[in-house]
Structure 1
Amino acid sequence: MKTSISSGLLIIAATFPTVASSHGGEHVDITDAIFTDRVARCDHYVGSYYANVTDIKRAKDFTGDIVITSDSRFCYVRSNDIPNHDFNDHSAHFATNVSEQNLSFRFPINPTPAYKPSPLALGTSEAVLLNGVVIDLLAAACYDTGREPLGREKIGCDHRSADHPWRYDPMSPLNDFGTDEHNAHTQPNGKYHYHGNPLAMFRTHCENTDAASPVIGYAADGYPIYGSCIKDSATGEIREAQPSYKLKNNGGPRQAVSGYSTPRAGIGNIATNNYDGQFRGDYEYVAGTGDLDECNGMTVDGQYGYYITNSFPWVNNCFRGKVDSSFQGREQQRMHGHPPGGGRPEGGPDGQRPGHPPPLYP
């Protein structure tokens, strides 16, 4: 049955127990919750939430914790980065064990579009979901960049290679980034993060639901992120949102790009010589071929938002608004394997340099 929580988060559950909260209100259990609310304003979700979940492979229990607050202009999220669902199933192979983090984010209640969209950037988290876990779409891994064997790169492609055409896509089935059944894995500091559809928090089979997907998080510019299901404006049916990205050259042979080595089939883990989706640069935006714009968003009933999709670019592929600085400066965490030499990245437990903890907000 539907249960309306006083904080504004609408979820489906039989019973949601509450415990005393140090934040002056209910501490709401969102373990395995399916969200249903489509209210776009982030201050609608102000509250304190927790989840009791298990690292399956390690048979270790965790408690997720997320607090959402607001003032007249911004929403603030504090999270320990533990999801509201079990994780690290037996299909996964994480480079490091999941550990609690100290994450803080800020974004505007009423985001506005910038003069032009801004691109994704290594070191900038794309979004934080309402279960407190971030989306980090970009891997620090590009063909023929870094110290690892050619065609097997997992690290070494930093901000100096922002325009690299052959950046591996962790969501491609042709790559193996060790993700679990929620399309997530860890960074070297133990930070759990999604690379695409979390396969949680909303009903993922659109044909079996009678409503468009809810808000499940917020991008770094403050615009809401919805699940995959939309109401077709022409037919009224509920169906998956379709992105407007296609494989270049109709999936034919890759073309050389000046200044870069072209991936070749059979070298390391390179599958083919074609634009097959192994790299993010295998795709191009073709306006009008899907429901969504180049940022993987659209406006419905006057509200712009990004959508989770089951094909590239998976979540947002650019930002319509101004990115808040609280999502930036996390490049050292973006190493999807063990760092060179087997050690941890330089800095503290959240990838910060010693003596400079992550920012905390009200």
Structure 2
Amino acid sequence: MPQKRAMPNQTHTFNLPLSLCTLTTCAIAFAAITSQAAQAHEEIKDVILTDRSTNCADYADTYSAEVTDVQNARNFRASLAITVTGDSCEITSNAVPNHDFNATGRFARPVAEQNQSYSVPANPTFNSAPVALSLRYDNAVFLNGVKLDLLAAGCFGVGDGRIGCNDVSSPYRYDPMGPGAGFGADEHNAHTQPDGTYHYHGNPMALFDQSNPTSPSPVIGFAADGFPIFGSYIADGSTIRLATTSYRLKSGTRSGGPGGSYDGTFVDDWEFVAGSGDLDQCNGMVQDGVYGYVVTENYPHVIGCFMGTPDPSFLKRRR
């Protein structure tokens, strides 16, 4: 997915009078149109991104990939379009990733194609104070068209612990990336929602070089407030290293609920300790003069809160 500027839509016209359109000539014309349409889609199967442009318009294009649900031996065609409308970028996809998936997952529902579209502000602005994550919003969309949904709807002591915990202030909310969560995520830290929507809960284990890169990680997506999301590696002088979160596990044991030691099973097991890592409370930092969120190995994984205002297009649909 090379850096691209927004281009106007192009329509290919074949001036072939209907009176001259025989079965053969019409078939040739149709084949030519189909061929040009297919060529308009950039193939991004397993692409490793390199661009660090924080302007969503630079990624405007149409993309596709042939991928497989490994355990179920089902083939899918991922479809993604990024277009520019005024001061926003529209990111529309069928929610199928650009990589094979579900080699190790335990999905409650099989993956189903969706029709999802997000509007990303091209010039995001800071709020006067950070905005907490909400169960009402999807958190971000990656540059393969798959969304990020960090918060689980499951809390200890509420229903079966997996769904139904819709009050964001409820204690002991499971972290889907935690050691005892058991949400059936696959090798890409993703699983499905009740309607079959494939979505990530953390590092997608794709899209950027994760094995000793020689340069800082690229932009791999955009948050609901428009700020970019970078991969995990940052420049520290002449050294390229993993960024570190400023959240730390609490010491001691839980005083109520499930009891036991703070081990990261629950969101409440973590606390923000300013200055203890590279990133702020929203899991972001300024790189090359631009603020953005960073994928990390530990909680909050990608985004801890929003520095801007989430766009209404990220409001979750009722299921």
TM-score of the two chains, using structure 2 as the length reference = 0.88
Q: Residue in 2 aligned with 1:238?
A: 240
Match of 1:320 among 307, 311, 315: 307
Q: Secondary structure at the match of 1:326?
A: helix
1:123 Cα offset (Å):
2.5
Q: Secondary structure at the match of 1:98?
A: coil
Match of 1:81 among 85, 91, 95: 95
1:4 Cα offset (Å):
4.4
Q: Residue in 2 aligned with 1:115?
A: 128
Q: Residue deviations 1:85-111, cap 9 Å, x none?
A: 00111x211000001000010021010
Q: Which amino acid aligns with 1:98?
A: V
Matches within 5 A, 1:82-161: 82-89=96-103, 91-146=104-159, 148=160, 153-158=161-166, 161=167
* Conserved? CA contact 1:19–1:28, under 8 Å: no
Distance in 2 separating the partners of 1:320 and 1:20: 42
Q: Residue deviations 1:23-50, cap 9 Å, x none?
A: xx82100000000000000000000000
Match of 1:229 among 229, 233, 238: 233
1:274 Cα offset (Å):
1.4
Q: Residue deviations 1:45-75, cap 9 Å, x none?
A: 0000001100001111100000000123111
Distance in 1 separating the partners of 2:4 and 2:282: 33
Matches within 5 A, 1:280-319: 280-319=267-306
Q: Secondary structure at the match of 2:57?
A: helix
Distance in 2 separating the partners of 1:286 and 1:62: 43
Query: CA, structure 1 residues 5+227, in 2 after alignment: closer, same or farther (shift >3 Å)?
Result: closer
* Conserved? CA contact 2:3–2:51, under 8 Å: no
* Conserved? CA contact 2:246–2:276, under 8 Å: yes
Matches within 5 A, 1:42-57: 42-57=56-71
Q: Residue in 2 aligned with 1:32?
A: 46
| Structure 2: unaligned runs, 5 residues or longer | 7-33
Q: Residue deviations 1:207-231, cap 9 Å, x none?
A: x211000000000000000100001
Distance in 1 separating the partners of 2:140 and 2:230: 12
Higher Cα Rg, which structure: 2
Q: Which amino acid aligns with 2:87?
A: R
Distance in 2 separating the partners of 1:4 and 1:200: 16
Query: CA, structure 1 residues 263+119, in 2 after alignment: closer, same or farther (shift >3 Å)?
Result: same
Q: Residue deviations 1:210-253, cap 9 Å, x none?
A: 100000000000000010000113xx2100000000012x2x11
TM-score of the two chains, using structure 1 as the length reference = 0.78
Query: CA, structure 1 residues 133+82, in 2 after alignment: closer, same or farther (shift >3 Å)?
Result: same
Q: Which amino acid aligns with 1:29?
A: E
Q: Residue in 2 aligned with 1:177?
A: 183
Q: Secondary structure at the match of 1:281?
A: helix
Q: Residue deviations 1:256-280, cap 9 Å, x none?
A: 4xxxxx213xxxxxxxx11111100
Q: Secondary structure at the match of 2:129?
A: strand
Q: Residue in 1 aligned with 2:172?
A: 166
Q: Which amino acid aligns with 1:216?
A: I
* Conserved? CA contact 1:63–1:82, under 8 Å: yes
Q: Secondary structure at the match of 2:81?
A: strand
Alignment size in residue pairs = 292
1:19 Cα offset (Å):
5.7
Q: Secondary structure at the match of 2:194?
A: coil
Q: Residue in 2 aligned with 1:215?
A: 219
Distance in 1 separating the partners of 2:119 and 2:185: 27
